[in-house]
Amino acid sequence: MTELNKLNKVMTMKEAVSKFVSDGDILAVGGQNVGRCAMAAVHEIIRQNKKDLTVVGCNLSINMDILVGAGLVKKTESGTGNVEKFGTTFMWRKGIQEGKIQHDDYSHLMLVSRFLAGEMGVPFMPVMSGFGTDILRYSNLEKKCEIIENPWNKGEKVVLFPALNPDVTVMHVSKADEMGNIVIDGFTAHEPEMVKASKHVIVSCEELISSEEIRQNPALTTIPYFYVSAVVEQPYGAYPTSVYKYYDYDGDHVSLYQGLGRKVLKGGERKEYDEYLQKYVYGCKDFNEFLEKATTKERLKELEESMKRICGGER
């Protein structure tokens, strides 16, 4: 019997961020709105003060906003900055309105097509959206896109967007093995393309499973290990956002954060926002300490029970 390759990429989040995130990086952040945001990784990036970041992703949520709040972001490229019912991403909005952050707008399809070009190893991708809109017109970039005529259908316009290959993606998933094979249960949003386009990927997971389990059910592998640099076992690593089949989002904590951001946007007083960062991020040695401060075992149990009801049973 052949001995199969056994890479071990398991490490702590502290090691992973220190090793694979650098100042000035193009950082792609996994998750969307209140779902599966890579909060554990983002907190560690803030603790390690990785700065001058360009943050990219289709939807950017509190995972981006808190990096802006910590003063680490110089630029963003996305389809939205938004937490929907919980409001827009207020620190980001303030940064753009004050001209402190450069932002380039895309539709979600345009941005995911840029990741698709990146993962396919081609220089650009055609898209058929957005003709006549200002998305194609305004940009901080020298050339955001190029409209050409379809060579096979004279008169038909096509808009090309360049490949986007992030320096590093951080994401939180349901399961991974030590090699870095990833299983995502539930929606996958922008992540499959984003991850495969990235030079490095840091994955935190609810459960670390055996490679044997992966190999027994290869159809369930969302993303194979080739792209992944680091695997971190971090239960509740998306809190206060949700992980499908594990736990619901904690609307109270999302609202707490959003309330502080909204205050800064409206009045400019940062005191309470900074206290949040101090208490929940800088003042914690790791994400487990954040969880101890921000929530309780009982509350987490409630979020798990709520998810069970929504999914119609056990995972």
Partner 1 sequence: MKAKEYTDNEIMIIAASKYVYDYDVVFAGTGMPLISALFAQKTHAKNIAFVAETGPMAPEVVPTPLSVSDPRLMYKAVKHGSLRDVLGTLLQRGLVDVGFLGGAEIDQFGNINSTVIGDYFKPKIRFPGSGGACDIASHAKRILIITKHRKERFPEKCSYITSPGYIDGPDGRKNAGLRNPYPEIVAVTNLAVMRINPSTGKLQIIKKMPDVTIENILENTGFVPEMAENIETVEKPKQEELNLLRNELDPNKAYI
What does the binding site for partner 1 look like in residue numbers (CB under 8 A)? Answer: 31-36, 58-59, 78-86, 88-89, 92-93, 96-99, 103, 105-110, 112-113, 116, 127-135, 138, 140, 147, 156-157, 185-193, 241-242, 244, 248-249, 251, 307, 310-312
- What six digits make up the tokens of 119? 């993962």
Which is nearer to partner 1, 7 or 120 (by Cβ)?
A: 120
Alpha carbons 208 and 206: distance in angstroms, whole number = 7
Report how far Cα 207 is from the mean position of its chain's Cα atoms. 19
Which is nearer to partner 1, 47 or 94 (by Cβ)?
A: 94
Beta bridge partners of 160: 126, 146
Q: How far is the CB of 291 from partner 1 (least distance, A)?
A: 20
Which is nearer to partner 1, 11 or 28 (by Cβ)?
A: 28
Q: Dihedrals φ, ψ of 125, to 5°?
A: -135, 135
Q: How far is the CB of 205 from partner 1 (least distance, A)?
A: 17
Which is nearer to partner 1, 34 or 182 (by Cβ)?
A: 34
Q: How far is the CB of 264 from partner 1 (least distance, A)?
A: 14
Alpha carbons 31 and 46: distance in angstroms, whole number = 18
Q: How far is the CB of 148 from partner 1 (least distance, A)?
A: 11
Q: What is the CA radius of gyration of the chain?
A: 20
Residue showing tokens 């380039």: 104
- What six digits make up the tokens of 70? 């910590």
Rounded to whole angstroms, what are the CA distances from 66 to 152, 159, 258? Answer: 46, 33, 10
The length of the chain, given as a count of residues:
315
Which is nearer to partner 1, 110 or 264 (by Cβ)?
A: 110
Q: Dihedrals φ, ψ of 57, to 5°?
A: 160, 160
Q: Which of 67, 11, 9 has its CA nearest to residue 234?
A: 11
Q: How far is the CB of 48 from partner 1 (least distance, A)?
A: 27
Q: How far is the CB of 101 from partner 1 (least distance, A)?
A: 10
Which is nearer to partner 1, 61 or 295 (by Cβ)?
A: 61
Which is nearer to partner 1, 182 or 189 (by Cβ)?
A: 189
Alpha carbons 29 and 57: distance in angstroms, whole number = 6
Q: Are the C-beta atoms of 12 and 41 separated by less than 8 Å?
A: no
Q: Are the C-beta atoms of 9 and 180 separated by less than 8 Å?
A: yes
Q: How far is the CB of 89 from partner 1 (least distance, A)?
A: 8
